[in-house]
Amino acid sequence: MKPRIAPPELQPATFTFKDTAKVADILSRYPADKKQSAVMPLLDLVMRQMAAEVKEGGGWIPEAAMEEIARICEMPRIKVFEVATFYSMYILAPIGKHHIQCCTTTPCWLRGSADIVKACEEATGCHVGETSQDKLFTISEVECLGACVNAPMVQINDEYYEDLTPERMKEIIAALKAGQDVPKGPQIKRHSSMSAAGPTTLIEEAKKAGAL
Amino acid sequence: MPKLKINDIEVEVPAGTSIIQAAEQLGIEIPRFCYHDKLSVPANCRMCLVEVKGGPPKPQASCALACAENMEVFTDSEMVHKARKGVMEFLLINHPLDCPICDQGGECDLQDQAVAYGFDRSRYFEAKRAVKDKELGPLIETNMTRCIQCTRCVRFASEIAGVDDLGLLNRGEDVEIGTYISKAVESELSGNLADVCPVGALLNKPYTFTARPWELRKTDSIDVMDAVGSNIRIDARGNEVMRVLPRLNESVNEEWIADKTRYAYDGLKTQRLDRPYVRDTSGRLRECTWEEAFIYAAGKLKTLQGSEIGALAGDLVDVESTYALRDLMRALGSNTMDCRVDGADLDASEACGYRFNTTIAGLEQADAIVLIGTNPRKEAPIINARIRKAWLTKRTPVYVIGERLELNYPYTYLGAGADALEKLDIKAEKPAIIVGMGALRIDGAAVLALARKKSVVTAEWNGFNVLHTAAGRVGALMVGFAPQAPFSTKGIKAWYLHGVDNAEVFQHVIAKEAFVIYQGHHGDVGAQRADVIFPGAAYTEKAALYVNTEGRVQMARAAVSPVGQAKEDWRIVRAFSEVLNVPLAYNTHADLRKRLSAEIPAFANVGEITPVEWKPFGKEGTISATSFTSAVANYYQTDAISRASVTMANCVESFGAPLKIAAA
């Protein structure tokens, strides 16, 4: 999906990193002459900082931040822009507080992801690609997020919610709306990505790990 | 040196040569879109796939695979054809079928290769995608729906032009070429974007919808918009120049040309002097016949002594006419002639003192480059591209004395004037010192002598360079169009001005009451002041020799004929000599060239630089403390042709005239 880019009237004029220690830490991971390697974690840091700063909704990356990263990483701004528009995890326009990324690739789709998307739309009152009126939710369709064993699944901000049913999806959205905590990972009685019926091999080890 | 077989032909190539380059050496053409031999290799179009035995059993991208020992490459096998057909089918999924209304039609890589590898129908019924066009300024027309994402433009902009403005945005089927925030590509080489684009996505804007490539008559020629002498191809239809394209010359312009070279040609269609004029008693210029103009001018000159007649040669003059005019002035007994009309105090006596001795290609060998009173980005963008290349490949350090410049490579600023030159101490084996016209002011002789002293000259290296801004200057100096004694305008009652359109000449040199004969092709500054006008030919309209700043003699050919009653310039001088009763000793162009090269053998050496001895030049002396300034303030309008060009005027409006930043 083509990234939405915030219109000029929403773009802040400047952007400064608050957590300068974190910026230094990120830069220290890469050789001094290969600073541009830091572009991805810095873009992520911008989103986290913005999420804490915005009055409503979630974090996004303004153009001023991309210019700041270009300056820090000593790379052309267009190269930062290229990276930011390439990955679906970078958000370039104001977004809901909870970004529901529904996986609709084949394994999830076979396990009913279309119904999950529908459930999200019904529960939030907005369509795929839109943000809800209360600025709490934005729904996106994304490609495979790599949790196919527990399909269907969605990613909301940093967390995975797996083994969903339309009903459970609606409950999750209702809980998030109410500000309650929702258990992450599989939403049925499954440990991690083990078989849903319980372990069939390495049973002793599973017991030791407390999964049985 | 790996040895390999391509289509069963054995070839040995230097290590690191890619298969596509090795095949090229054998004359085997491999289709490609993204690969360009002057740019980096991204291997993203997949059109150059070949079959390689001794590698994995799948087609390989020949542009990105280096030749290895005992490789067996097949460029024409069944596997290769199948793979390329597949690639072509993918490329055509979204490429519009608009060849009949596309300016690239007839010279389009995609069109040509689709003939070889395309299918005669489409298997796709889905809608094609459309991409919004980008605004890239007054020179480049965009049709982004036609883009096949080869990224040549992105690489050209960042590698050659040095402007990181273009990028490949988004992902998958949404991928498109874009700019950060919609803005024009600010480069003097931006016109080359249209050349590198293999499809009709980036096009020559002023040429849009004016001609088809198969209608055009192509003439190899030489550019005169700066002193680089870029090799160009002039495409004309009927008697109209339709466009100007670069021609490959590795020692001069590689395969790029600057924007003024490419786009100023529309100035050839306006403000032209197409018939002779004389100024009548009321002070107005009146059309007349050649006969009348000649008799009128000759009548005036005949009343004067030789020492009362002077001649000046402007920036765009060719060698032959300057040579003929020199002979005419000598026959008249005058020694007052000069080609340094911008006031640059060049030493005309020694060729080594006014040439770009390192040579343009030689800059790549330099281990330090010093720019003195010059902004190569505006005075010679092609030479600037070489300096950038030297910096890009070898990180050659660049030093600047003069104004602070906005260059597309980093430099160390040493100072504004002569004191910085005095202190200059570059620890390098092969430094190249480039002296611009901006450093050769009234005390130019002393600047030259000082720069000479600072230059490293050995048997295999000459680091002293003069960067000219006028295409005709070196040629005119070589034929001796310069005064033998100190130049003096005292007592000059009549001037023969050959293409002189430099406003400062009319302010400082030409006396108010002097009689002025102007020979030239544009109604510019010179024609306004003239008492008689001899209409001459522009560079596209005459076969002539030009000498670039290196001292390389190059031959231009006539692409179209002169407008109206205008004539080739040397013919005008020859005909006028007859009227003056001092007929010159040549009647044909061939005779003139023969005589010219007999007198100055360098002119027989077309395309080459004739070596000269390293001798003293300039004159040591005190240099004023004022800072050096660049000779060109407004890149887009430097001469009579570019001042008449609408495209160049649009560029000034878009990019703003001065690119310089204030001195800190």
pLDDT at residue B183, as a whole number: 65
How far, in Å, CA of B470 to CA of B225, rounded? Answer: 8
pLDDT at residue A194, as a whole number: 85
Residues of chain A in contact with residue B136, where contact means CB-CB under 8 angstroms, are none
Q: Which H or E run contains B513?
A: none
Asked if the model's pLDDT at residue B663 lies above 50, the reply is no
pLDDT at residue B572, as a whole number: 97
Best B171, B173, B179 residue to mutate vs chain A (most A CBs within 10 Å) = B171
Asked if the model's pLDDT at residue B304 lies above 90, the reply is yes
Nearest to B164 among A3, A76, A86 (CB): A76
**Interchain proximity B165–A78, CB inside 8 Å:** yes
Residues of chain B in contact with residue A85, where contact means CB-CB under 8 angstroms, are 169-171
Asked if the model's pLDDT at residue B205 lies above 60, the reply is yes
Q: What are the angstrom distances between the C-alpha of B324 and each of B36, B480, B590?
A: 44, 11, 13
**Interchain proximity B169–A82, CB inside 8 Å:** yes
Asked if the model's pLDDT at residue B523 lies above 50, the reply is yes
Residues of chain B in contact with residue A78, where contact means CB-CB under 8 angstroms, are 164-167, 179-180
> What is the interface pTM, i.e. ipTM, of the complex?
0.84
Residues of chain A in contact with residue B168, where contact means CB-CB under 8 angstroms, are 82
Give the DSSP letter of residue B542: S
Locate B84 and state its tokens: 């390329």
**Average of per-residue pLDDT across B512-540:** 95
Best B181, B183, B186, B408 residue to mutate vs chain A (most A CBs within 10 Å) = B181
**Average of per-residue pLDDT across B526-538:** 96
B283 vs A2 pLDDT, higher one: B283
Which domains, from first to last, does chain A contain? 8-86 (1.10.10), 98-186 (3.40.30.10)
Which is nearest to A153 in space by CA: A195, A121, A124, A110?
A110
Beta bridge partners of B246: B232
For chain A, percent of residues with pLDDT exceeding 90? 84
**Interchain proximity A3–B179, CB inside 8 Å:** no
How far, in Å, CA of B607 to CA of B658, rounded? Answer: 34
Residue spans of alpha helices (H) in chain A: 20-28, 39-53, 63-73, 77-86, 106-110, 113-124, 166-177, 203-208
Best A2, A78, A140, A142 residue to mutate vs chain B (most B CBs within 10 Å) = A78
Asked if the model's pLDDT at residue B512 lies above 80, the reply is yes
The answer for B269, left when phi > 0, alpha when psi is -120 to 50, beta otherwise, is: alpha
Q: What are the angstrom distances between the C-alpha of B553 and each of A6, B44, B557, B601?
A: 56, 41, 13, 11
Residues of chain B in contact with residue A87, where contact means CB-CB under 8 angstroms, are 171
* pLDDT, averaged across chain A: 93
**Average of per-residue pLDDT across B569-592:** 96
**Interchain proximity A78–B166, CB inside 8 Å:** yes
For chain B, percent of residues with pLDDT exceeding 70? 98
pLDDT at residue A71, as a whole number: 96
How far, in Å, CA of B558 to CA of B564, rounded? Answer: 15
Tally Cβ neighbours within 10 Å of residue B203: 20
Which is nearest to B499 in space by CA: B466, B477, B470?
B470
Task: Note whether B606 and B454 are within 8 A (CB).
Answer: no
**Interchain proximity B164–A78, CB inside 8 Å:** yes
Query: What pTM was estimated for this model as a whole?
Result: 0.91
Asked if the model's pLDDT at residue B352 lies above 80, the reply is yes
**Average of per-residue pLDDT across B1-15:** 94
Nearest CA in chain B to A8: B181
Residue spans of alpha helices (H) in A74-165: 77-86, 106-110, 113-124
pLDDT at residue B661, as a whole number: 39
Neighbour order of strands in the sheet with B49-53: B9-12, B3-6, B72-74, B49-53, B60-61
Which is nearest to B45 in space by CA: B106, B104, B95?
B95
Contacts 24+ apart (CB under 8 A), B213-220: B213/B105, B213/B106, B213/B107, B214/B106, B216/B242, B216/B243, B217/B559, B219/B557, B219/B558, B219/B559, B220/B247, B220/B557
Residues of chain B in contact with residue A79, where contact means CB-CB under 8 angstroms, are 164, 167
Nearest to A79 among B167, B171, B178 (CB): B167
**Interchain proximity A79–B164, CB inside 8 Å:** yes
Closest-CA distance, B135 to chain A, in angstroms, reads 16
Q: Greatest CA separation found in chain B?
A: 89
Locate B10 and state its tokens: 């054995």
pLDDT interval class at B122 (50, 70, 90): confident
Neighbour order of strands in the sheet with A159-162: A137-142, A98-103, A154-156, A159-162, A185-186
pLDDT at residue A205, as a whole number: 85
Residues of chain A in contact with residue B130, where contact means CB-CB under 8 angstroms, are none
Asked if the model's pLDDT at residue B289 lies above 90, the reply is yes
Helix axes B78-94, B109-117, angle to 10 degrees: 130
**Interchain proximity A86–B171, CB inside 8 Å:** yes
If DSSP states are collapsed to H, E and C, what string results for B352-418? HHCCECCCCHHHHHCCEEEEECCCHHHHCHHHHHHHHHHHHHHCCCEEEECCCCCCCCCCEEEECCH
Asked if the model's pLDDT at residue B185 lies above 90, the reply is no
Nearest CA in chain A to B166: A78
In sequence order, the 6+-apart residues with CB closer than 8 A to the CB of A65 are: A15, A43, A46, A50
**Average of per-residue pLDDT across B5-34:** 95
For chain B, percent of residues with pLDDT exceeding 90? 85
**Interchain proximity B171–A63, CB inside 8 Å:** no
Asked if the model's pLDDT at residue B558 lies above 70, the reply is yes
Asked if the model's pLDDT at residue B647 lies above 80, the reply is yes
* pLDDT, averaged across chain B: 93
Q: What are the angstrom distances between the C-alpha of B642 and each of A21, B128, B430, B469, B651?
A: 55, 42, 36, 14, 11
User: A32-36, A65-69, B183-187: lowest mean pLDDT where?
Assistant: B183-187
How far, in Å, CA of B452 to CA of B474, rounded? Answer: 18
How far, in Å, CA of B559 to CA of B266, rounded? Answer: 14
Tell me the count of A-B CB pairs closer than 8 A.
33
CA B282 to chain centre: 42
pLDDT at residue A207, as a whole number: 83
With 0-12 / 13-18 / 19 or more C-beta atoms within 10 angstroms meaning exposed / middle / buried, residue B163 is middle
Residues of chain A in contact with residue B166, where contact means CB-CB under 8 angstroms, are 78
**Interchain proximity B164–A82, CB inside 8 Å:** no
According to DSSP, the β-strands at B544-547 and B277-279 are unpaired
Nearest to A3 among B158, B167, B170 (CB): B170
If DSSP states are collapsed to H, E and C, what string results for B524-537? CHHHHHCCEEEECC
DSSP B25-89: HTT-----SS--TTS-----S-TTEEEEETS-SS-EETTT-B--TT-EEESSSHHHHHHHHHHHH
Beta bridge partners of B412: B399
How far, in Å, CA of B553 to CA of B612, rounded? Answer: 14
Contact residues, chain B to chain A, C-beta under 8 Å: 158, 164-171, 174, 178-181
pLDDT tens digits, one per residue of B383-406: 999 999 999 999 999 999 999 999
Nearest CA in chain A to B168: A82
How far, in Å, CA of B643 to CA of B636, rounded? Answer: 8
According to DSSP, the β-strands at B368-372 and B431-436 are parallel
Best B180, B185, B395 residue to mutate vs chain A (most A CBs within 10 Å) = B180
**Interchain proximity A86–B181, CB inside 8 Å:** no
How far, in Å, CA of B554 to CA of B544, rounded? Answer: 8
How far, in Å, CA of B226 to CA of B373, rounded? Answer: 17
For chain A, percent of residues with pLDDT exceeding 70? 99
Asked if the model's pLDDT at residue A175 lies above 50, the reply is yes
Residues of chain A in contact with residue B159, where contact means CB-CB under 8 angstroms, are none
**Average of per-residue pLDDT across A195-206:** 84
**Interchain proximity A78–B179, CB inside 8 Å:** yes
Nearest to A78 among B170, B174, B180 (CB): B180
**Average of per-residue pLDDT across A185-189:** 92
Which is nearest to A128 in space by CA: A114, A143, A141?
A141
Closest-CA distance, B246 to chain A, in angstroms, reads 29
pLDDT at residue B660, as a whole number: 39
pLDDT interval class at B181 (50, 70, 90): low
Closest-CA distance, B411 to chain A, in angstroms, reads 17
Best B164, B169, B176 residue to mutate vs chain A (most A CBs within 10 Å) = B169
How far, in Å, CA of A173 to CA of A167, rounded? Answer: 10
pLDDT at residue B179, as a whole number: 84
Locate B550 and state its tokens: 């290196």
pLDDT tens digits, one per residue of B604-642: 999 999 999 999 999 988 888 889 999 998 999 999 999
**Interchain proximity B164–A77, CB inside 8 Å:** yes
pLDDT at residue A196, as a whole number: 84
